[in-house]
Structure 1
Amino acid sequence: MSAPARQGSEESRVRAAAPARSIDTAVPADSTVTQDYLKAVWAATERGGAGASITGLAQRMGVAASTASENVSRLVDAGLLEHEPYRAVTLSAEGTRRAMGMVRRHRLLETYLVEALGFDWDEVHEEAEVLEHAVSERLLDRIDAALGRPSRDPHGDPIPAADGAMAAPALRSLDALRVGETGSVARIQDDPDTLQALGRAGIGLDSRIVVTGRARADGDPGLRPSRIRLVGATGEGRVDAPEVVGATGGAPGPGEAVIPAGSLWVLAED
């Protein structure tokens, strides 16, 4: 048998042995822009949101609102998005399948960069943004297996399995904890400044933290930064007054960090 024929036969066996999937982790013929739009709409709905706005998509994609509107219309025509005038943009069933595939790619790559290549957790988002559009499905499966089929990425975001299953524990926002309350860190917003502040304090996933102070509420009290401390760190017994100007009360000490609102979640059962 000639080399091309043998190669074709081997490829056929690989395809036949591939597991059935309910999400699309293979990079489709879609453009990178299409994939990014689907992932952006997914992000707007993942934590219970109603969907994405045209303005929000334009800001996230770095384009004019008119450009975002045209791209949304194109993806609606392609059967990947759903949108009615003056309503939020949402994913169709096919759009959800493809978006979950991109989310799986991104989070597995972030995990691999940290666990296997030694990247810091605040460095991996942009790297994964580039790699997710190029890595092959075969390599992605090997990465998943090499990592032991992880259920979450370095920031606590759940990783969809190849069959579409995604386990996500019940969470409670740090903003909902009162001063003096404790919790176990379960999920962190993928923001470099926040991740660096937590890293300096030695706070990571599963760390036990206590809320020691909040900023003065000049506006929405739900938007106040929180001062947190790693349980067991020096000064653990000190809890600041509930109203701490600037949420700092001075520079963070050992095991301490000041976290913007909407940036961290703890396990709900704590």
Structure 2
Amino acid sequence: MGTASNRPSTSVEDYVKVIYDLQERGGAGPVTTSRVAERLSVSNSSVSGMLRKLGELGLVEHQRYGDVRLTSKGNRLALAVLRRHRLIELYLVEALGYSWDEVHDEAEILEHVVSDQFVERIADRLGDPTVDPHGDPIPTRDGEVVARDTRLLSHADAGTVGVIVRVNDSDPELLRYLADQRIAIGMRVEVVERQPFGGPLVIRLGAPGAQRDQPIGLVAADALWIAPGQEAGEQRETHAVRNG
């Protein structure tokens, strides 16, 4: 079991985690210096300097002005950090009553200081869960991630039916907005209409007999991932939204 003292620095762990997340979510294209800088709220020059260090450590492949890619070593490190982060988030929600918009910043701190033994105790206590409160997959102890057929709600055509299985967790205000709108992981969703010229989507939420229609802007729709073709009973509704 590893301890916090024999791990790479906090900065190194944060960088590989962000690069992995940008790679894994896709959507906006290749991982670039500017995208990493935007996510971490630092300058491009700071990112360039750190990428050189990560390259020397064998964690990334990056040519100047080119895309950034994790090596297999960098990928393993990123998955280890993500496992700690996402298990901590889930523990904060399930055991301590945090709401889903509160856990990200807490986990950002704790993931660097807790021991691997502590994290595995959390996993055992929670029954080896596979997803965190935002539906993000939790890597296994062996660094595997269960693949799921998902797509962004913003990319779904009218008539698409599925289940909300994941939400981007980088914006607490957006998470609070979704909670206020009673939009949660595990809900059945149908795309009723796509308004033209970048207008909102009209979605139908809930099981037959208890449905409601409501518009949702593209920014919010671009943060929600659905599993098309599923019904709500097929998705384990582990994480009811706790709104404070």
TM bracket, shorter-chain basis: 0.7 to 0.9
**Counterpart in the other structure of 1:116:** 95
**Match among 22, 32, 35 for residue 44 of structure 1:** 22
Residues 183-262 of structure 1: pairs in structure 2 closer than 5 A: 183-190=162-169, 191-217=171-197, 221=198, 224-232=199-207, 236=211, 248=215, 258=217, 260=219, 261-262=221-222
CA deviations over 1:79-122 (Å, ceiling 9, x no partner): 11111122111111111111110011111111101111110111
User: Is the contact between residue 41 and residue 51 of structure 1 (CA under 8 Å) also seen in structure 2?
Assistant: no
**Counterpart in the other structure of 1:263:** 223
**Counterpart in the other structure of 2:7:** 29
Q: Which runs of 5+ in 2 are unaligned?
A: 231-244
| Pair 1:165-2:144 in alignment | yes
Aligned equivalents of 1:211, 1:118: Cα separation in 2? 32
**Match among 28, 33, 36 for residue 54 of structure 1:** 33
**Match among 71, 74, 78 for residue 99 of structure 1:** 78
User: Is the contact between residue 157 and residue 194 of structure 2 (CA under 8 Å) also seen in structure 1?
Assistant: no
Aligned equivalents of 2:212, 2:139: Cα separation in 1? 40
Aligned equivalents of 2:104, 2:98: Cα separation in 1? 10
Cα pair distance change 1:166/1:84, threshold 3 Å: same
Aligned equivalents of 1:195, 1:203: Cα separation in 2? 9
Q: 1:179 offset after TM fit, Å?
A: 3.5
TM-score by length of 1: 0.75
Q: 1:214 offset after TM fit, Å?
A: 4.1
Cα pair distance change 1:47/1:64, threshold 3 Å: closer
Aligned equivalents of 1:226, 1:26: Cα separation in 2? 47
- Alignment length, in residue pairs? 226
User: Is the contact between residue 201 and residue 230 of structure 1 (CA under 8 Å) also seen in structure 2?
Assistant: no
Aligned equivalents of 2:153, 2:182: Cα separation in 1? 17
Mean Cα deviation higher: 178-187 or 111-120: 178-187
Matching residue's letter, 1:177: A
* CA RMSD, Structure 1 to Structure 2 (Å): 2.5
TM-score by length of 2: 0.82
Q: 1:164 offset after TM fit, Å?
A: 1.2
Aligned equivalents of 1:140, 1:102: Cα separation in 2? 11
Name the % identity: 39
Q: Which runs of 5+ in 1 are unaligned?
A: 1-17, 19-24, 241-247, 249-256
Cα pair distance change 1:73/1:115, threshold 3 Å: same
